Amino acid sequence: MTRILLTVSCPVRPGIVAAISAYLAEQGCNIHDSSQFSDIDNDRFFMRLSFASEQGATRGALAGGFAGIATRFGADFAFHDPSEKMKVVIMVSRFGHCLNDLLYRWRIGALPIDIVAVISNHMDYQKVVVNHDIPFHCIRVTPANKPGAEAEQMRVVRESGADLIVLARYMQILSDEMCRDMSGRIINIHHSFLPSFKGANPYKQAFERGVKLIGATSHYVTADLDEGPIIEQDTVRVTHAQSPGDYVSLGRDVESAVLARAIHAHMHRRVFVNGDKTVVFPASPGEYASERMG
């Protein structure tokens, strides 16, 4: 049986779930997992279904037959092959904890993606990347060469066929043009529990304010710095006894986990952008399973 994912978003209208379910049943498909949400205030409906085609129907054939339903409900939709690995470019500067965590999860199959390149503005992680048989591109960035450097980065993205850019603690601000060109396809990890403690040293700010929780936020990148739709967040508890260095060490673990979870949600088509927010559905059965233990 062929497993397929269907994602749908449309205005909130009666009958959409019934129409989708009836159509799939008519095509000999068996729904295994389904999530839906209606944002009544914004008049937007979101749905994600995992199903199997027991008669071997192709995604193309299913999409062609679904077009009439989409027109009737004003729906945006896509049929996805979950076995196709999303192509990802990772960008990193001098903090390597997120990069190393992603490489490990990729190696054991916990993140079944295809890392097609790593781009950095420093040479620190060339060896570890090349040792994983992944192309490494060192593209230096200065105020004087920033437009040219970004053009070179986009060349790597285009030529590698990447579907997603992951900023794994990449400490350069992307241009508005790049953010627009890759809208909804750049994920960042912010070393703070947004929207609090923005800036270059949020852990120091948190320490000085005596906070009891620190955390991390993963979001889509937009032209508004650190204001993109949030995908995933998490926190860790701290006390008065911790030092600023402790905050940084504890923060590294949270950042790595939050970024990995955001990528996992995106690659499994579980994230829907809803204005300035997101709708993030739970994973289908088996989507957290790893191919190997280590």
Q: What are the angstrom distances between the C-alpha of 50 and each of 26, 33, 53, 245? A: 16, 5, 10, 44
Pairing mode, if any, of strands 164-167 and 87-92? parallel
Report the 10 Å Cβ neighbour count for 230: 18
Report the 10 Å Cβ neighbour count for 262: 26
**Quick one: DSSP state of residue 288?**
T
Judge whether 33 counts as a catalytic residue: no
Query: Residue 41 corresponds to which tokens in the numbers above?
Result: 């205030």
Residue labelled with tokens 């993963």: 218
Kindly tell me the sign of the dihedral angle through the C-alpha atoms of 259, 261, 264, 265.
negative
Residue labelled with tokens 């280590």: 294
Element (H, E) at 166: strand 164-167
Query: Residue 66 corresponds to which tokens in the numbers above?
Result: 């679904």
Catalytic residue among 226, 234, 246, 253: 226
Active centre residues (catalytic) = 226
